[in-house]
Structure 1
Amino acid sequence: MTLRVAVGQAEPAVADIATNVGLAADLTARAGAQGARLLVLPEAFLTGYHPDAFDAVVAGGSPTHRDLDGPLLAPLREACADSGCTVLVSTPLVTDDGRLRLAMVRVDPEGRGAAVYAKQHVDRSERAWFSPGDPAPVVLAIQGVRVGLAICYDTRFPEHAAAAARAGAEVYAVSAAYLEGSTRGREVSLPARALDHGMYVVAAAALGPTGTVGATGGSCVLDPEGRELATLGAEPGIAVAEVDLDALAEVRSRQTMHADRML
């Protein structure tokens, strides 16, 4: 069984959710035209990963969980329905307990939007705005493939990916923002998470200003041994690759680190 997956990146407009929903819809249409059935987009894509955007959402400009089936995401829901592609897109979101979190939203081909994950490991630079999410792993079934969810800093903690793998994840989907001077974490952590657990990694990385330095892009799809299947540089675009569950099973039969884990 295979699933064609895509990562997308573009420079979002700071604090302009309507414009960024349109960008997400365009990337969805492009991914769907290449046969992708899952598209992952970067961290805080709907607002931009920027202090001004985060200040704006704290001041009342954040979507809430009630907005996800309303007009705000209508262009993206339509693009998903037209393309047959499920999208995982990150945004600041007021969740049902009233707290502001860095969330991941799933929009499916039936046109439904739902908050499915909130960033567990909130970086110190983000704590002025965001609360951490529930520590339980989240694994979704998408087109018959089990997809574990992560947002950026989560991937630096090996136990996060381990929990997703124990919950059955075959793919580790990551929304991220890697800033200039901090890309080493991406270069080391993502291949390690793939190799540790025999999981595909599908990681979308932000572009554009972040208030101090720029976000570097570098979205990628890695195979279960950490090798690049598809990658983007610092330019907008999408990259597409195949997740092959037969190949995954073969890797896991040879690389048994996850099965051998004692803790």
Structure 2
Amino acid sequence: MPTVPSHPLRVAVAQAPATPGDLTGNAVLAGKLVRQAAAERAVLVVLPELFLPAYHPPALDADPLGTDLLVKAGQLTDSRLWPIQEAVIQTGIHAIVGASVRVDGHRFISALHFRPDGKALDAYHKQNLIIPDETDLFEAGRPGDTPGAIEVGDWVIGLGICYDGCFPEHARAAAIAGAHAYAVPMAYVHGSDHRRDLYYAARALDNTFYVLACNAVDGPQPWRFSGGSAIYDPEGQSMGQAPGSGEGLVVADLDPEFMGRTRAVHRMLADLELARVS
């Protein structure tokens, strides 16, 4: 049966309206959100999908040079990221931030990992893309192209992006690989709130791990997003949810003892392991 961490972990999801095409301004806003999470003593904060350029296909299509970040050897050195890097250095927090990246000429929807030492890493590429808004602009990531998880202390945080979480197999693969939590930057528009809330609560219960679901919010139609960012416990219960509009910060303490008790009762991961070896 998968192990559980030795100590609790305080985490946050932080949503705010991003301005289409304004990577510089959105990075400043991201730095502010990082500081707000750190002020609540969180050691990890997750921001929405494509937060840095904003999730707005026309802007992403019109200005790829202005909205993309270049990745070399898994790292980013773009000066526009400094407000976030300065925030994590000064506060000692980890941050997951959605971005559009270029790797050897290939364009991906990415989850960037900003470490407390200030390094910006290309941590995960979205593997399941929406047709046609995303497939016209991006390539799908492949397992093994990126780390796919980060470590915060002895917690392993698996990564997905939005539509990935609609596939139970994606979260299950993270759990089998040892994830204790699943961080999912996402972009759900108004009218899909019921699916937004159902998918990620189900992924938490499916895998008896925590889920950090951070949704985009507001923006111009038809890409007007519904916020409602939330954190779910291993029973699939909400530990807090942000409003459907405007800025919002949800902070929660991930409890390894609760995870252990839940996994002792809901034995899906342990029984799956038994089935695989029998």
**Residue 103 in structure 1 maps to residue 110 in structure 2:** yes
2:39 matched residue in structure 1: 33
Moved over 4 A (4+): none
Alignment partner of 1:249 out of 250, 254, 260: 260
Alignment partner of 2:180 out of 170, 181, 187: 170
Task: For 1:57 and 1:134, locate their aligned partners in 2 and report how far apart those are by CA, in whole Å.
Answer: 25
Instruction: Give the 3 Å change call, closer, same or farther, for CA 105–241 of structure 1 in structure 2.
Output: same
Instruction: Give the 3 Å change call, closer, same or farther, for CA 253–23 of structure 1 in structure 2.
Output: same
Structure 2 counterpart SS, 1:126: coil
2:96 matched residue in structure 1: 88
Task: For 2:260 and 2:40, locate their aligned partners in 1 and report how far apart those are by CA, in whole Å.
Answer: 26
Alignment partner of 1:215 out of 225, 231, 248: 225
**Residue 65 in structure 1 maps to residue 75 in structure 2:** no
2:162 matched residue in structure 1: 152
| Matched letter for residue 142 of structure 2 | D
Structure 1 counterpart SS, 2:18: coil
Task: For 2:221 and 2:105, locate their aligned partners in 1 and report how far apart those are by CA, in whole Å.
Answer: 27
Q: Is the 8 A contact 2:14 2:46 kept in 1?
A: yes
Q: What displacement does 1:138 show?
A: 1.7
Q: What displacement does 1:69 show?
A: 2.6
Residues 10-21 of structure 1: matches in 2 within 5 Å?
A: 10-21=16-27
Task: For 2:229 and 2:125, locate their aligned partners in 1 and report how far apart those are by CA, in whole Å.
Answer: 20
Alpha-carbon displacement from aligned partner over 1:161-197 (angstroms, at most 9, x marks no partner): 0100010000000000011122222122111100011
1:227 matched residue in structure 2: 237
Which range is displaced more, 138-147 or 54-63? 54-63
Q: Is the 8 A contact 1:56 1:62 kept in 2?
A: no
Q: What displacement does 1:210 show?
A: 5.2
**Residue 138 in structure 1 maps to residue 159 in structure 2:** no
Q: Is the 8 A contact 2:21 2:66 kept in 1?
A: no
Q: What displacement does 1:60 show?
A: 5.7
Task: Using structure 1 for the length normalisation, give the TM-score.
Answer: 0.95
Task: For 2:220 and 2:71, locate their aligned partners in 1 and report how far apart those are by CA, in whole Å.
Answer: 25
Q: Is the 8 A contact 1:15 1:52 kept in 2?
A: no
Unaligned runs of 5+ in 2: 1-6
Task: For 1:53 and 1:165, locate their aligned partners in 2 and report how far apart those are by CA, in whole Å.
Answer: 35
Alignment partner of 1:198 out of 198, 208, 211: 208
Q: Is the 8 A contact 1:51 1:211 kept in 2?
A: no
1:48 matched residue in structure 2: 54
**Residue 259 in structure 1 maps to residue 270 in structure 2:** yes
Q: Is the 8 A contact 1:178 1:206 kept in 2?
A: yes
Structure 2 counterpart SS, 1:94: strand
Task: For 1:6 and 1:259, locate their aligned partners in 2 and report how far apart those are by CA, in whole Å.
Answer: 28
**Residue 119 in structure 1 maps to residue 126 in structure 2:** yes
Cα RMSD after superposing both structures: 1.6
**Residue 184 in structure 1 maps to residue 194 in structure 2:** yes
Alignment: residue pair count = 262
Q: Is the 8 A contact 2:18 2:219 kept in 1?
A: no
Unaligned runs of 5+ in 1: none
Q: Is the 8 A contact 2:18 2:51 kept in 1?
A: yes
Q: Is the 8 A contact 2:22 2:67 kept in 1?
A: no
Task: For 1:101 and 1:77, locate their aligned partners in 2 and report how far apart those are by CA, in whole Å.
Answer: 21
Which range is displaced more, 241-250 or 253-262? 253-262
- Provide the identity percentage: 37
| Matched letter for residue 219 of structure 2 | P
Structure 2 counterpart SS, 1:91: strand
